[in-house]
Structure 1
Amino acid sequence: MAGTRPALPDATNDSFLQEALNEANAYRAKHHAPPLTMDPALVEYAKSRAASRSEYEADDMSHEGLRTGTGENLFWGAGTGTTPYTAAAAVTDWYNEISGYDWNNPPGTNMTGHFSQLVWKGTTRVGAARVAGQGAKWFETVIVFVFESPGNYANQYKDNVLPA
C-alpha cells in the first residue's frame, strides 16, 4: 500500500553508515553482544524501507510490508532547520528505551522493542538508511535500521538481551 505523500529524498552517505555502525556497536558492547557488520544488501533494503516509510505521516508509520526474517527499527524526527538527524540521535533514542525494560520479566509491558533489537545478541548484520527533506510543516528525517537475524522472540530475551 502506498503512502499519502511523495517519499523524502535519500540522505544516506558513507559517514552516516559509519556512524550508524559505530553507535550501534558501542551500545551492543555494553551488553556483551558481538559487533554488527554493515551488509550492503541490507543497506539497499533499508533505503527502500526508509523511502516507503517516509510516504506516511509519523503517526501512520509502521512495519507494514517488512520482509520475513528481518527486524526493523524506525526513527522519525522533525525540526525547523534543514540538517538531517544523525544516526547517533536515532540509536540513542532507541537505546534509551532501556529505562522501561523489565530485566526480571523481559521484555515487560513497556515499549522497549527498539532497545532489545539493537542489543539482541543473536543479530549479526545490519543495514541503515536515512531520508530527509521538507515535509508539509517541518524538515523531516526518517532513519531505518534493518537487522538480520531479527530479535525480539518470546522466551529468548534472557539469552539475547544481557545486562550492561
Structure 2
Amino acid sequence: KFIEDCVRAHNVFRSKVNPQASNMFRMSWDAALAKTAKAWAKKCKFKHNIYLKMPGKVHPTFTPVGENIWTGTATIFSVDEALNDWFNEVSNYDFYTNRCTGMCGHYTQVVWAESYKVGCAVHFCNTVENFPGLFRAAHFVCDYGPAGNYPRKPYKTGRPCSGC
C-alpha cells in the first residue's frame, strides 16, 4: 500500500501541472532508491543525504540522485499530505520565467519530467536533528532518478505525452 501510494501520488500530481507537460514520464518504483531513502530517513536528520552526488554510492545507475524530505508530526503524516505540501510550492514558482519566490525545489523535483523512478521511506523519530521543538515525528524521504532541479524548466509545455 505504501509503495502504491507513493507512486500514485507522484503520478497524480505530475498530471496536474499547469501549463500541461508534453514530455512528462510516468513514474515507477525503484527498490534501490527506496533503500537509500530508508537508510537516510533512519538517521533522523533534517538535511539532505550527503552522498547523492557520489557515483555509485546511493544508486547503481543514477548520479546524482534527487531528494525531497518532509518532516512533521507523526499523527498528521500521510503520503498524500507530504506530496500535497511539496506540490503546493507551485504557488512560489513561475513557470514562464522559471523563477522561484521562497521555496519551490520540492515542487520542481516532483514535476521534473525526466525523473521517472522514485523510492520513498518514512521513519518515525522521537526527535529530528536540525528540527528543534518537534517530537514524535514522521520523517519522509523520497529519492528520484535521474535527479531534477537543473537550471532550466522542469518540463516542456504541450499536449500531454506529445513529446514522449
Q: Is the 8 A contact 1:116 1:161 kept in 2?
A: no
Match of 2:80 among 74, 88, 107: 88
Distance 1:94 1:137, change over 3 A: closer
Spell out the pairing of 1:11-160 with structure 2 (5 A cutoff).
Answer: 15-31=1-17, 32=21, 33-52=24-43, 54=44, 56=45, 61-68=46-53, 69-78=64-73, 83=75, 85-135=77-127, 138-154=135-151, 156-157=152-153, 160=155
Identity %: 27
Distance 1:77 1:153, change over 3 A: same
Between the aligned partners of 2:95 and 2:35, the Cα distance in structure 1 is 34
Partner residue in 1 for 2:60: none
Between the aligned partners of 1:137 and 1:127, the Cα distance in structure 2 is 25
Distance 1:114 1:134, change over 3 A: same
Q: Is the 8 A contact 1:129 1:143 kept in 2?
A: yes
Find the residue that maps to 2:97 and give its secondary structure. coil
Q: Which runs of 5+ in 2 are unaligned?
A: 54-63, 128-132
Q: Judging by fraction of residues, say which structure has more helix.
A: 1
Q: What is the TM-score with the length of structure 2 in the denominator?
A: 0.76
Question: What RMSD, in angstroms, separates the aligned Cα atoms of the two structures?
Answer: 2.2
Q: What is the TM-score with the length of structure 1 in the denominator?
A: 0.76
Between the aligned partners of 1:150 and 1:40, the Cα distance in structure 2 is 16
Q: Which runs of 5+ in 1 are unaligned?
A: 1-14
Between the aligned partners of 1:30 and 1:141, the Cα distance in structure 2 is 26
Q: Deviations over 1:109-133 (max 9, x none)?
A: 4210000000000111010000014
Name the count of aligned residue pairs: 139
Q: Which amino acid aligns with 1:47?
A: K
Deviation at 1:103, TM superposition (A): 2.1
